[in-house]
Amino acid sequence: MDWSSMIIEPFSHPFMRDAMLMAILIAFLCGSLGVLLVPRGLSMVGDGLAHATLGGVGGALILGSTPEASIWAAMPFAILVAWGISWLGRHAKLAGDAALGVFFAVSLAAGVAAIHTASRAGVNVDMEGLLFGNILAVQPRDVRIVSILAVVCILILLRFGPRIAYAGFYPEMAALSGIRVERKEYLLMTLTAVVTVTAVHAVGVLLVSAYLVIPTVTARSVSRRLGPMTLTTIFTGAIGSAIGLIMSYHFDIPTGAAMTLALGGCFLVALGLRGLGFSK
């Protein structure tokens, strides 16, 4: 089999095309927010919110949600956790990573307890799929839902993105300019929670931070300007996803792990380009 066949043949299957479209959407969503989080030292917010999603999943299962719908039902819980992190950081004088640690531990423990309770009640919970994801199992309905979320995020970022970035990187100057910094912080955390839950649905709790962090760090190795860095981040996420899906198809590697390894390879390539003088 030649190289072109190896690349094209996997996407002759509808489930692979759906998986690729979902991966591109997640790469866009995570890339658009990663450039607002990672440079500020908030790279682990997505990881913490992903683990906190377990608490929402467990609560949804206990309240009667189906396992398939429980991740989407966990979104309000993830948003509340994101707001709690912001509130503690501002009003309780607790550093962001400390606030994240508090909510991370409590919501994770609550999720494990709730999922265990639901399992004892006869609910069949796919813990492996929840932790590591199964993007090959996404349905066209899931792709439509994420497409709608992507459009909403585009509209919000087009309207408020520059102010969110200004308020995040230069809060004192933004406040003097009349920007309500606290509101922009809550908006950013809300978007991060929504995107994190969306990514968990496809790549799982343990791998979601890869899409928020690795493409952004890769892009920062090439450019430090926000516009080019955002485009490079999205492109890296999409290319890494495609390579990972192809690797998973041909070599029978778990898809989430393959995509994460491919993103890591993109990072190494970016470091090489930086060493050759391509960074700006």
Each residue's pLDDT tens digit, 21-59: 999 999 999 988 988 888 887 777 877 888 888 888 888
Q: Which two tokens mark 95?
A: 């550093």
Distance between CA atoms of residues 186 and 183, nearest Å:
5
**Tally of CB atoms within 10 A around 133:** 25
The label of the residue with tokens 């470091």 reads 271
Backbone angles phi, psi at 277, to 5 degrees: 90, 25
| DSSP single-letter state for residue 135 | G
User: What is the structure's pLDDT at 17?
Assistant: 92
Can you give the length of the chain in residues? 280
At 236 the pLDDT is 93
What's the pLDDT at 264? 93
Q: How far apart are CA 148 and CA 145, in angstroms?
A: 5
List Cβ neighbours of 41 (8 Å cut-off, separation of 6 or more): 96
Please state the pTM of the whole predicted model. Answer: 0.86
Q: Enumerate residue ranges in the chain where pLDDT < 70.
A: 1-2, 89, 91-97, 99, 275-280
Q: What's the pLDDT at 279?
A: 56
Written out in words, the top-level CATH class of the domain with range 3-275 is mainly alpha
Tell me, what's the pLDDT at 96? 56
Domain extents in the chain: 3-275
DSSP code, position 139:
-
Whole-number pLDDT of residue 45: 82
